[in-house]
Chains A and B, each alone.
Chain A
Amino acid sequence: MHPILAAANVPIVSKLPSASSPRPRRVALFVTCLVDLFRPAIGFAAVKLLEEAGCTVEVPPLQVCCGQPAYNSGDRATTRAIAAQVIDAFEGYDAVVAPSGSCGGMLSHHYPGLFDDPATKARAENLANRSYELMSFLVDVLGVTKVAAHYDGAVTYHDSCSGLRELGVKDQPRRLLRSVDGLKLSEMKSPEVCCGFGGTFCVKYPEISNAMVSEKSADIATTGADTLLAGDLGCLMNMAGKLQREGSAVRVRHVAEVLAGMGDRAAIGEPDLGKR
């Protein structure tokens, strides 16, 4: 185990296929509702990275959300209904990949516990065993070690909580970032401390959330990085919104955008006046 993982108490990812098992080819993208609505480029970056790694990527059309807003608000019945919908939509794919540790963790760690009836529970477990966060899938499952991308700048990487603590995503994005031509990685003092997003938390308890994201912003500033990256759009929107409110020049992107060579687009919260 990598020493960083050991130090962070990150659980060892236990479902990695053995070397002899076939590489998953037919991959379904779980777009996530935030990426769909607010930053589609992340979805396309994920598709590009997966295709370059030899996968066939499909996007099941009837997907909406993983159900976390209901789950974390205590509404189990709705969560179960949405999870059943997701289980149906992603039936039959070799792997289900989300550009988010939070949504990926919901599918792979929380779905099975939602169901009591053995048949649905078994299907939930089956989906859980095929579900991955994007960085972890690329590095741990597909064995990707480098990407052909260029990015001019010093970046710092924030470890989003679910990816880090539920899925053991820590070194994978950094390993790939180190292969990006022109990119310099500069670590925060506390990259593992929550940014204060927390889904509905950030609007239910805005003052606490603001205190947390202000601290994060200060930590980002000490790195001298000109770009902030992370693997979850919710956290990124929270941090970008704070940095921009403070007048910071730090640009904010999803790590997949930079790895896919799409780091030249307008960053999160910046005007995109380019033609399409």
Chain B
Amino acid sequence: MESTAHDFKDNVDAALADANLQDSLAKLKVGFSERRRQAAERMPEFEALRDRARDIKNHALANLDFYLEEFERKVTALGGHVHWAPTAEDARRIIGELCQSMGARTVAKSKSMVAEEIALNEHLEALGIAPIETDLGEYIIQLRHEPPSHIIAPAVHLTKDQVADTFLEHHSKLGFTKRLTERNDLVAEARYVLRQKFLDADVGLTGANFLVAETGSSLLVTNEGNADLSNTLPRMHIVLASIEKVIPTLEDAAVLLRVLARSATGQESSAYTTLNTGPKRAGDLDGPEHYHVVILDNGRSAVLGTEMQDMLRCIRCGACMNHCPVYGAIGGHAYGWVYPGPIGAVLTPQLIGVEEAGNLPNASTFCGRCEAVCPVRIPLPNLMRHWREREFERHLQPRGVRQGLALWSFLARRPRLYRRLTALANRLLALFGRAQGRYQTLPLAGGWTRFRDFPAPPPGGTFHAQWRGRRS
């Protein structure tokens, strides 16, 4: 996917002016967080489970090479194949060749953020292979030629009316000429249209929530069951997953699943939890004849052993974005690439470069709500701060910001000079703001006064000046 992260500020302006988006975000902000809160409350051991989930992922990351090789051995023994893709291009090429080996014309895809990351659909289309998104949200945005705006709810930026218009536009040629207004009717129509596509597909492609080293299984959760059709009906099943998805055992998967659904949607568990363990065996009634797992690095291994490693614990529940007031204000598209919200703000600079995505880790108040709800306790504000440190080291921040900071730093390290200058500033601000008590405009503070008044200090001097006066 082409990044627009460097145009973050323009993206923000567009998002804030988009009434449909703002309507959708208003619902998202209360819905997800309230359901997550209730789910956590219903489970007394939820906080302990979060610790356990963090520890499992930390252990897997500390022994990543071991578990990945173990996973490969198991998959191979089952008759499947593991392909290692160091880069996005490698992954695209491998998947393209696999599809071509089947003479595939269509690929049924279940939602995969890694597929978005490597821009798989564009590649398949260039090869003359039609990718069919089978997750309802992904299907909607595919029809609209939009990227997902949320990692678990890709079409969350759209209103029901927008979906109704999109379906009417694209389904009328299939004979569905009535504009639907009821949610259930829209779902039923999409289900009908998609069912034939499942049956026609030559290859099924899914992501994975976890790769289980112990059994060689890929594990996937959905609420629509579309993954089950993607991986049982076609003759070839390709799993696309990134390296950090591997975990040691099924037991570990059980712990992670318990925090995943609750954190994501407030469900006790997702409607479908599917384990794929190798191709169809002799005597199996269904299942794919060919089973391939493509494991993508794409810059992740460079994070191992660094202060940024914690970002690889992410299990893609979306809780950080559901609770983020910045995401809540601007939605997912403004972030400009595949992964939005707080996790996107730490992951994107790693995957496409901090020069391109430098705004993302800066556009945070460090309110800490993301870290407070993260099921694997990723210290997201700290990681964003680390990115800011790297930007500072490399002088990537805007000149005005750097100069302002340098001046402030100079003064803050000279308390006596600082005291004299703040005393002067206090007197001037108090003097000229005295009649109003505040300023509607103020030199050098346009960012503030464009939207807010600036309170003037009351007369009488700074605290330190007054304190000296009182106590001497």
Contact = CB atoms under 8 A, between A and B. Distances in A.
B450 A205 contact: no
Given A82-B413, A85-B413, A203-B445, A72 B452 contact: no
B192 interface: no
Contact of B456 (A64, A71, A202, A269): A269
A207 B448 CA distance: 10
Interface in B3-45: 9, 12-13, 16, 37, 40-41
B12 A165 contact: no
Interface string B394-411: 000100010001001101
A36 to B, nearest CB: 4
Interface secondary structure of B, over-half rule: helix
A40 B413 CA distance: 22
A87 interface: no
Given A69-B405, A73-B405, A44 B463 contact: yes
A50 B32 CA distance: 41
Interface secondary structure of A, over-half rule: helix
A240 B392 contact: no
Contacts of B385: 71-72, 74
Contact of B367 (A37, A161, A210, A276): A161
Contacts of B468: 61
B418 A198 contact: no
Nearest to A43: B463
A199 B13 CA distance: 21
B451 A209 contact: yes
Interface in B403-453: 405, 408-409, 411-413, 415, 418-419, 422, 425-426, 429, 434-438, 440, 445, 447-448, 450-453
Given A72-B388, A269-B437, A245 B463 contact: no
B367 A206 contact: no
Contacts of B455: 38-39, 237, 240-241, 268-269
B452 A210 contact: yes
A172 interface: no
B437 A272 contact: yes
B325 interface: yes
Given A38-B457, A201-B363, A210-B451, A272 B434 contact: yes
B306 to A, nearest CB: 15
Given A35-B463, A269-B438, A273-B434, A196 B401 contact: no
Select the residue from B364, B411, B434 with max chain A CB neighbours within 10 A: B364
Contacts of A64: 411-412, 415, 418-419
Contacts of A75: 389, 392, 405, 409
Interface in B75-97: none
A41 B457 CA distance: 10
Interface in A108-167: 161-162, 165-166
B462 A40 contact: yes
Contacts of A269: 437-438, 453, 455-456
Contact of B325 (A82, A196, A203, A244): A196
Nearest to A68: B366
22 contacts: A7-B41, A9-B372, A38-B455, A40-B461, A59-B467, A64-B411, A64-B415, A69-B405, A70-B412, A78-B409, A82-B409, A82-B413, A85-B415, A161-B369, A194-B365, A196-B365, A208-B329, A240-B453, A269-B437, A269-B453, A270-B438, A276-B459
Interface of B: 9, 12-13, 16, 37, 40-41, 47, 325-326, 329-330, 362-369, 371-373, 385, 387-393, 397, 401, 405, 408-409, 411-413, 415, 418-419, 422, 425-426, 429, 434-438, 440, 445, 447-448, 450-464, 466-468
Given A73-B405, A244-B452, A271-B435, 6 more contacts: A70-B409, A165-B368, A193-B367, A201-B365, A241-B455, A269-B455
